[in-house]
Each structure stands twice: as C-alpha cells, then as structure tokens.
Chain A
C-alpha cells in the first residue's frame, strides 16, 4: 500500500467520513481510529459507499476488511485513485 496521500485526497476522505458519520469536521483527523470515532461495521459500509461515489472507485471487500483507522482508509483510497485508468483523451 502506498504510504503517501495527496492533501486533496486526504481532505476529501476526511470530509466524506465526517459527513457520512454526521461528525464535526475537527474530530475526524488522519490519526483517529475507527474505534475512537465510534465507527462500527454498519457505519463502515456506509462510508465505503460514500467514498466509492466521491472518488468513482470500487473498493474490494478484502482490502476494506483490513482498514482500522482514517490514515489507512485514505491510503487505500489514494491507491485506488492512482490505479484508475486515465480518462480517454
């Protein structure tokens, strides 16, 4: 998994997460774990749905299962965004 996340992707992940969970923006930081944010398994699939729509990506079940905190989530999204085929010219 790529370790670096662009500021733009990170900001969009944080915003999507806060909006989906109805959390104050300042509470959703890259270092927060899902446990700290009270995100349970059901919340998790709502967040994946929102991120798939936000970034137009498909998040595979097996990689989604391994994610435990916001940073890992952003890294996973960045990887899928990087892998997206370039739009046809």
Chain B
C-alpha cells in the first residue's frame, strides 16, 4: 500500500511566536528571536545570546498538578500538538485512534529537570531527587503525555539524533502513513536546552556565536541555541479530501543517511547523498525543487559543506532555486529545529513565498548558493528541508503543494 500524505494541521512554539500564525508573521517580517539569555545567572558563559521561547507561559496551558511530571520540553511538545490537532479537526473513529501514531524528536529530553535535580544533589548536597525526575527527563515524555491526553494507541516513539531528530521523526511518521501502518500521525520535535550545564557544554564545543546567527554570511561566528516545538498532523491525502479538510501541503519524500566521516565535521558528500535519496523517495528530479530550507547553522563548517552539497545536487538548476536558513530567525532548536523549519517550509508552499535569511552581512565565496535575503512572492511546487546532525546523521524532507 502506498498513499499520498497530506499535512492538515501545524502548530509551534518558538522564540518568534507561540502559535504557527505568530511564527509565520515573524518569519515573513524577518524578525529574529535571538536576545540576551534570561532565567539564570550567565556569569562565566562566553556567549550570552539565545533564542528562548520567552513568552511561553505554562500556566496558560496546564494546571499545577499536570505540570508535576512535565519538563519544559514536554510542555512545548504538547502545546504545539494541541494547536496542530485543533487545526486538523481529524474526527477519528475508535479504530483509527487505536492505530494513530505519534513520532517525536528531541536531542536531549528533559534537560531542565535533570540539570536542576543534579545541581541540588551535587552542589547543594540535597539528600534526594524529585521522584518525577526520571519521567520528566525521558526523551519520550512528550509523546507519552500526548497518548494519555489523546487516547492514541498506535505506534508511538521518540527519535534522538541530535540536530536531525525532528526530521527523522517526521520522515518516519510520513512513511507510516504512506505505507498504511497508521491512518493518522502526529509528528515533530521539541527542545528546551536552556540550562546552565547545557550552555557550558555547548561553550566547550566552541561552535556558539558570541552575538547572532549569520548563515552563509562572511563573518558568521557560529550557531545560536534556540528553544521550541513544532508539530504536524499527517493523514492520507484521500482521507483529507474526502472529509473536506484543508491540505496545507503534502510530504512527498524522505531520505536519511550517515556520513560515516567524522564526529562533528560535516561531509558534503554525505549531505548530497541524503538529498538525492530524499528526491528519489519523492520520485522528483532536482529541477522540481525551488526552495531549500537549509540546515544553515551559521557555523564555519556546516555552511561551506552544505553549499557544496546544494551545488552538487542542484547545480544545473540554481537559477530556479532559492535557499533560506530560518535558524537565523528561530535559533538552532536542536531536536525541534527540523520541525520549526518544516512549519516555515510548508507555510511557504501554501503562501507561495519564501522566508528571508536574517543577519546576513556579505557574501562568502565559500558559500556560493542563491540565498534569499528578503521575503518575496516565489511561485513553487516543491521544496526540501535539510537537517544534518553532529555524529554525521542526515535527514532530508521533501514537501510539495
């Protein structure tokens, strides 16, 4: 069984909007969500800026008792999922609910709870940890909480592949629906990486920018951490049409592969190979693609190798192609970033325009790709969204109108 797969609901929480419409308005305006990190003492951290979901207020979405077992990353996942489901209005039968899938991505799960707990244990010599520490920190906490809220009983799991987590999750959910292993799926990613311990660990890796994120620009100085969640509701295109639902876009293909090259250095060959796998899965030629939502982290290494991979795959087609890097707006939300980028890419298809890349200073000859710097109308039928993780794990999604 092979079915076309429609996206009929989207939701997100991010530094540039607490709902998909707010996020989209910020994307169109090129509104960058990067600012001074708040919430704890940043003394002694070499970088000071991040893209926090500052306006997210858990008490608007959960009562005190519901919050006890929920780390911030799980709260974000649930709130984004509720928005996507409210839009999709799936109207599930009992049979469909029993087979409904949830596949989420997260790089490191309930880090906020783990960090706070271990600080109290190691630093403050507290004799015991909160009993909800384990349920809060497990990477599947968001997915499991959603099953309880929704009563969905089909395949539910969580993918953790660092910065590619959400793309791997969405790709697998897409394949489940395409091949009839589930009738509907909720999928995306969430991440809440702003803890002192986590920021010190990123500092040590020397990849975080001291000011802002400038993908593909000369003078770029690294990535900027972000926070948030993105969720998509997937169902067979025929089901969506039969019930008169609005099809926001289709997922047309998915490719994944490993560089087998280096722990942290990306590989142009690995990225290009994964792009080609995704296009083959979509049964689309490179010239069908008019938008690349790049991994575009703003690090020295990624942007050069990704440019090289894009030129390798789309070389003959670069006049018809625009590249955008929305991490310059919403930050690098790690396991959620692919989901936020999917929302931006899907809304670009629906609205036939392209989201600008912010903070660009001047061209870098080593990053020779047609970068979109201003929001503009851009008629297009298909787009790809790249995620390339530390550890060399690549995942590329293909979307079409």
Contact = CB atoms under 8 A, between A and B. Distances in A.
Interface of A: 21-22, 42, 45-46, 48-49, 52-53, 58
B131 A49 contact: yes
Nearest to A53: B128
Contact of B131 (A21, A22, A48): A48
B69 A22 contact: no
Contact of B132 (A21, A46, A52, A53): A46
Interface of B is mostly: loop
B131 A45 contact: yes
Given A22-B64, A49-B128, A49-B130, 9 more contacts: A22-B63, A22-B65, A42-B69, A42-B135, A46-B68, A46-B131, A46-B132, A49-B131, A58-B127
Contacts of B132: 46
A68 B260 CA distance: 56
A10 B379 CA distance: 71
Nearest to B132: A46
A7 B394 CA distance: 63
Contacts of B130: 49
Contacts of A21: 65
Interface string B38-79: 000000000000000000000000011100110000000000
Nearest to B130: A49
Interface of A is mostly: helix
A42 to B, nearest CB: 7
Contacts of B64: 22
Interface of B: 63-65, 68-69, 127-128, 130-132, 135
A49 B68 CA distance: 13
Nearest to B68: A46
Contacts of B68: 46
B59 to A, nearest CB: 13
Contacts of A42: 69, 135
A58 B130 CA distance: 14
6 contacts: A22-B63, A46-B68, A49-B128, A49-B131, A53-B128, A58-B127
A46 to B, nearest CB: 6
A52 B128 CA distance: 9
Contacts of B127: 58
B170 to A, nearest CB: 31
B69 to A, nearest CB: 7
Contacts of A48: 131
B319 to A, nearest CB: 59
A31 to B, nearest CB: 23
A67 B68 CA distance: 22
Interface centre among A21, A45, A49, A58 (most CB of B within 10 A): A49
Contacts of A45: 131
Which 9 A-B pairs give the minimum distances between C-beta atoms? A45-B131, A22-B65, A49-B131, A22-B64, A46-B131, A52-B128, A49-B130, A46-B68, A49-B128
Contacts of B128: 49, 52-53
Nearest to B64: A22
A49 to B, nearest CB: 5
Contacts of A53: 128
Contacts of A49: 128, 130-131
